[in-house]
């Protein structure tokens, strides 16, 4: 369903289980960045009314997810650590060239967002199925559904605002590129790492 070309190695969960505090901190900042992305799309493309409406709802949802993760951190007696460098996103953002028309820029940003949400969904599914901490597994199962909805929403907007055939070609190329990136990751307790 997600179209990812390379699944996460299930052994990644073993890395995560050794340091739950790290994955929760990384996850909290992923939710904060998702909130920022939605706000950025509103600021950058205010003329797309339907997009603005959906991004406004997404801001509320993503910041509520941030709070949920932050609450998990507090419940466990920890504090939110500092943000970490996200090598996955940094590498991903190198795929599309800078510039182009406003529509092209919008489509590229929507495709990036769709892919990040798809990978997050896949990782949350893995956590929900493999974590020994059943309370946390259930937490990730519930979030997985939201991530899947976000993925389809961003991809749908890309196809709506761009030329569908061209968008689908770019999407497949981005998926191939992402598989190369993910093949070198999965060795740290990070949502995309």
Domain that holds residue 56: 12-182
- pLDDT tens-digit profile of 128-167? 999 999 999 999 999 998 888 999 999 999 999 999 999 9
In a domain, 5, yes or no: no
32, pLDDT greater than 80: yes
pLDDT, position 10: 87
Q: What is the pTM of this model?
A: 0.93
Average pLDDT value for residue range 44-53: 98
| In-domain check, residue 26 | yes
Number of structural domains in the chain? 1
Task: Kindly state whether residue 145 falls inside one of the protein's structural domains.
Answer: yes
Mean pLDDT (whole number) for 24-53: 97
Res 185 pLDDT > 80? no
- pLDDT computed for residue 64 by the predictor: 97
pLDDT digits (tens, 9 = 90+) for 62-102: 999 999 999 999 999 999 988 888 889 999 999 999 989 99
**What distance in Å separates the CA atoms of residue 178 and residue 193, rounded to the nearest whole number?**
12
Assigned domain for 190 exists:
no
Confidence of residue 34 (pLDDT cuts 50, 70, 90): very high
Q: Residue 40 is part of a domain; what is its CATH number?
A: 1.20.1260.10
């Amino acid at each position: 369903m997600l179209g990812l070309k390379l699944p996460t190695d299930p052994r990644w969960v073993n890395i995560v289980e050794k340091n739950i505090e790290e994955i929760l901190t990384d996850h909290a900042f992923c939710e904060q960045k998702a909130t920022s992305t939605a706000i950025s799309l509103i600021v950058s493309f205010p003329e797309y009314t339907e997009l603005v409406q959906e991004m406004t709802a997404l801001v509320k949802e993503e910041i509520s997810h941030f709070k949920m993760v932050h609450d998990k951190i507090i419940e466990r007696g920890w504090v939110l650590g500092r943000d970490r460098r996200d090598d996955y996103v940094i590498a991903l953002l190198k795929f599309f060239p800078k510039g182009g028309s406003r529509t092209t820029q919008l489509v590229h940003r929507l495709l990036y967002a769709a892919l990040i949400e798809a990978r997050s969904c896949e990782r949350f599914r893995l956590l929900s199925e493999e974590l020994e901490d059943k309370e946390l597994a259930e937490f990730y199962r519930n979030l997985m559904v939201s991530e899947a909805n976000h993925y389809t929403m961003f991809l749908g907007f890309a196809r709506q605002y761009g030329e569908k055939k061209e968008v689908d070609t770019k999407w497949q190329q981005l998926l191939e590129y992402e598989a190369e990136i993910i093949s070198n990751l999965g060795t740290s307790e990070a949502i995309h790492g």
